[in-house]
């Protein structure tokens, strides 16, 4: 289902079909605090000084921007480790596949005209060209590792900056299409799994506190997405007037507090309502192992409960990283890529249930190939 | 957006129509209550107090419909986007808009970020002599205007002009790419 983009040597083209057999960085289930923190991510918004922003650019401008950035980035050391994918020529299912792996945004998937993404083999770095801004640099690590992510993305940004003229103003910083990103152009986000705070109905209180300190809460797939399966992304809202390090600190400081709240809520559940929690987790596990048809939303919700059950020691012999993998492989495009067929919603729900039964074969899900 | 009377978030957005004039008010819950009660008692809306630094004036608050219309028609001399188009789309047209619409954007950016001065990283390329901007910024910004001009020339079938602009764009970009680096 992967098309060969016209600008790429086919041998250099990353084969999306092979990605279905590997695990993206945020699903590895490793890194500090990975029982609660799924991933740490930083993205930088950058634009070229000599072109109009994407929404104002002509079709020809967009093609030139894409070519210019792709070719210039390929010259820098960090760029040599990346594989470029021509998103504009991908089929819809492949675009959706990249969204589900968090390698591109929904906005890039749904945009028009020339656009591409360059990804490294470990799926830690992705560079989106012609999203809302000319260039969006993203770096993602498993678990809580904001400093590691920042150290990595800073090097990539510095190298690219030597090869292309970024639009910059001494007062407004890095100039972006939307004034909400101007200045540092940085979005620091941490994805957390907070099922116990949801069950104990403390989550709204926590989110209200976060809003008061200018932090945003989003769902699994970023802006505008619903929180599915008790997964939430916490990120900075402002980008101007603070340094990148201060903004990293703003998000980084709150994460240990959230981890502590979630751990306490989990302890409370085990201490005060163990039978109920055990029942909820076991029922979720039972449905996943026996269902004949199941939606992506229900799967996410049930996997979330099982994930918590494993971490609380209520379910044995199940590997957390395998559950992480199931979270993404049961998404619509992944299922279709794994099956090698385009499936409608009804058939996807049947296929999803079959896939889950196959993996939960009585001994818990098998660890996925990495 | 902050309340025009205090630092709380504005949750009431009131548009007053007086004769041919339109006036917008953005107030927190407390000040909206006071404002609406005064309006009822006096039979008309009170004047909002100007806020520190005159930040509300460029937002169009208290301006007449004619003044707002004139502001909306203001267009960037590089990409051609009008302030009206930006207000509708929420996206700017090119980097130069931050200079061209600086007065209009300042209160908006202050409300979003609570700041109007970048303090983070800067490009390491040197600044032009006597200029705070990174080297080449002015000529590269001018390229955006040349692209707009080239598009217009093509539409008018003035291919000679289009070719001339295309060559100038290429030369400017080439000059930047071939600049001496450390």
DSSP A207-245: HHHHHHTTEEEEBTTBTTPPP-TTEEEEEES--SSS-HH
pLDDT greater than 70 at residue A364: no
Chain A residues with beta carbon closer than 8 angstroms to that of B133: 168-170
Chain A residues with beta carbon closer than 8 angstroms to that of B173: 50
The candidate with the shortest Cα–Cα distance to A305, out of A317, A325, A321, A287, is A287
- Quote the strand ranges of chain A, DSSP E: 37-46, 82-86, 116-120, 125-129, 135-142, 168-169, 173-174, 186-193, 215-218, 231-236
Structure tokens, A247: 């903004």
pLDDT greater than 60 at residue A298: yes
Q: When comparing pLDDT for A304 and B47, which is higher? A: A304
What is the percent of chain A where pLDDT is above 70? 91
- Residue A213: φ, ψ to 5°: -105, 30
Comparing CB atoms, the residue among B91, B113, B119 nearest residue A53 is: B91
* Residue A219 near residue A233 (C-beta atoms within 8 A): yes
How many other C-beta atoms are found inside a 10 Å radius of the C-beta of residue B165?
22
Strands A37-46 and A82-86: unpaired
Structure tokens, A193: 């799994």
* Residue B82 near residue B73 (C-beta atoms within 8 A): yes
Please give, rounded to a whole number of angstroms, the shortest distance from the CA of B118 to a CA of chain A.
5
Residue A84 per-residue DSSP state: E
Average pLDDT rounded to a whole number, residues A71-79: 95
Q: For B139, name the nearest residue in chain A, comparing CA atoms only.
A: A50
Please give, rounded to a whole number of angstroms, the shortest distance from the CA of B125 to a CA of chain A.
7
pLDDT greater than 70 at residue A40: yes
Residue carrying the six token digits 């093609």: A63
Distance of CA A106 to the CA centre of its chain: 11
Average pLDDT rounded to a whole number, residues A339-362: 91
Distance of CA A99 to the CA centre of its chain: 8
Report CA dihedral (A68, A72, A74, A78) to the nearest 10 degrees: -130
CA distances for A183 relative to A147, A175, A178, A254, B6, angstroms: 20, 7, 11, 22, 26
Comparing CB atoms, the residue among B92, B120, B141 nearest residue A177 is: B92
Q: Tell me if A169 and B113 make a contact (CB, 8 A cut-off).
A: no
Q: How far apart are CA A265 and CA A314, in angstroms?
A: 16
Q: When comparing pLDDT for A348 and A1, which is higher? A: A348
Tens of pLDDT, residue by residue over B50-99, are: 333 333 334 445 567 777 777 888 899 999 999 999 999 999 999 999 99
Average pLDDT rounded to a whole number, residues A276-281: 92
The neighbouring-strand residues paired with A300 are none
The candidate with the shortest Cα–Cα distance to B145, out of A179, A185, A56, is A56
Mean pLDDT value across chain B: 77
- Looking at residue A1, its pLDDT comes to 47
Interface test with B, best of A137, A157, A158, A167 (most B CBs within 10 A): A167
The candidate with the shortest Cα–Cα distance to A250, out of A203, A303, A210, is A210
Q: How far apart are CA A8 and CA A247, in angstroms?
A: 37
- Residue A12 pLDDT level (bands cut at 50, 70, 90): very low
Residues in chain A: 370
What is the percent of chain A where pLDDT is above 90? 73
Q: Tell me if B118 and A171 make a contact (CB, 8 A cut-off).
A: yes
Reduced to 3 states (helix: H, G, I; strand: E, B; else coil), residue B2 is strand
Least reliable range by pLDDT among A7-21, A82-96, A172-186 = A7-21
Q: How far apart are CA A235 and CA A248, in angstroms?
A: 9
The neighbouring-strand residues paired with A117 are A85, A128
Q: When comparing pLDDT for A296 and B9, which is higher? A: A296
- Looking at residue B37, its pLDDT comes to 56
Average pLDDT rounded to a whole number, residues A12-32: 72
pLDDT greater than 80 at residue B114: yes
* Residue A75 near residue A159 (C-beta atoms within 8 A): no
């Amino acid at each position: 289902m992967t098309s060969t983009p016209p600008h790429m040597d086919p041998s250099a083209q990353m084969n999306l079909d092979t990605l279905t057999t590997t695990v993206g960085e945020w699903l590895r289930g490793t890194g500090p605090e990975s029982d609660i923190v799924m991933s740490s991510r930083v993205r930088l918004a950058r634009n070229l000084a000599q072109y109009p922003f994407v929404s104002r650019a002509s079709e020809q401008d967009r093609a030139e921007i894409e070519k210019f950035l792709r070719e210039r980035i390929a010259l820098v050391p960090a760029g040599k480790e990346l594989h470029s994918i021509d998103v504009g020529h991908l089929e819809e299912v492949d675009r959706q596949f990249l969204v589900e792996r968090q390698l591109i945004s929904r906005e890039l998937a749904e945009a028009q005209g020339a656009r591409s993404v360059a990804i490294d083999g470990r799926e830690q770095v992705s560079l989106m060209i012609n999203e809302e801004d000319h260039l969006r640099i993203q770096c993602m690590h498993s678990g809580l590792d904001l400093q590691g992510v920042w150290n990595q993305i800073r090097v990539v940004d510095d190298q690219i900056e030597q090869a292309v003229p970024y639009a910059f103003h001494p007062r407004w910083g890095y100039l972006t299409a939307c004034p909400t990103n101007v200045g540092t152009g940085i979005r620091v986000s941490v994805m957390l799994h907070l099922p116990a705070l949801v069950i104990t109905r403390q989550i709204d209180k926590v989110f209200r506190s976060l809003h008061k300190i200018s932090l945003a809460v989003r769902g699994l797939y970023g802006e505008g997405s619903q929180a599915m399966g008790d997964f939430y992304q916490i990120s900075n809202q402002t980008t101007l007037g603070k340094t990148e390090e201060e903004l990293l600190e703003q998000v980084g400081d709150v994460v240990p507090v959230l981890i502590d709240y979630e751990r306490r809520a989990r302890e409370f559940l085990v201490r005060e309502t163990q039978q109920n929690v055990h029942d909820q987790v076991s029922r979720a596990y039972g449905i996943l192992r026996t269902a004949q048809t199941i939606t992506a939303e229900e799967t996410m919700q049930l996997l979330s409960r099982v994930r918590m059950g494993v971490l609380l020691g209520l379910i044995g012999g199940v590997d957390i990283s395998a559950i992480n993998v199931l979270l993404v492989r049961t998404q619509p495009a992944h299922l279709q890529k794994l099956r090698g067929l385009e499936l409608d919603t009804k058939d996807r729900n049947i296929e999803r249930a079959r896939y889950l039964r196959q993996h939960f074969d009585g001994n818990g899900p098998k660890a996925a190939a990495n | 957006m902050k309340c025009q009377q205090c630092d709380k978030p504005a949750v009431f957005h009131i548009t007053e129509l007086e004769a041919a004039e339109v006036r917008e008010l953005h107030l927190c819950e407390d000040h909206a209550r006071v404002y609406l009660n005064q309006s009822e008692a006096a039979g008309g809306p009170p004047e909002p107090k100007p806020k520190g630094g005159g930040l509300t004036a460029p937002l169009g608050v208290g301006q007449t419909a004619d003044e707002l219309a004139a502001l909306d028609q203001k267009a960037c001399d590089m990409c051609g986007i009008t302030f009206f188009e930006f207000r509708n789309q929420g996206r700017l047209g090119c980097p130069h808009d931050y200079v061209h619409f600086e007065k209009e954007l300042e209160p908006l950016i202050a409300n979003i970020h609570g700041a109007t001065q970048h303090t983070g990283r800067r490009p390491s390329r040197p600044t032009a002599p006597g200029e705070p901007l990174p080297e080449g910024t002015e000529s590269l910004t001018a390229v955006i205007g040349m692209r707009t001009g080239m598009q217009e020339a093509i539409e008018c079938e003035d291919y000679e002009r289009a070719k001339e602009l295309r060559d100038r764009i290429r030369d400017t970009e080439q000059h930047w790419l071939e600049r001496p680096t450390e």
